[in-house]
Amino acid sequence: MISNMGTAISTIDKRIHKYVAQMNAKDKEAVLGIVMAIAEKQDAEPWKDEAFIEEMDRRFKEMESGKVKLYTLDEVEAHARQAFKTRKRKKQ
């Protein structure tokens, strides 16, 4: 299935390239404007997605209420250092 998607994307890329190659500079600029508008819209999507906002609100409330365990930066660093030491010893 993944290889089919790769093939489909490759085919789309080839078709796009074929049409863009035939355009004049003014038309290419218009296409670029459309592509940039789509990309900017997609970049902004998470902040406009109600489900995303609800999930972030839920997680923040869990943190504030103490329902989930939080770790300080020092705790995370100590754990990472210990894991690194343990892994280093196993390789030797």
43-83, pLDDT tens digit by residue? 666 667 788 889 999 999 999 999 988 899 999 999 999 99
Structure-block tokens of residue 37: 């508008």
For the chain, the structural domain boundaries read 2-91
Structure-block tokens of residue 69: 């365990």
Whole-prediction pTM value? Answer: 0.38
Neighbour tally for 38: CB within 10 Å: 10
Rounded to whole angstroms, what are the CA distances from 59 to 47, 55, 62, 73, 74? 15, 6, 5, 19, 22
Evaluate whether 31 touches 23 at the Cβ level (below 8 Å): yes
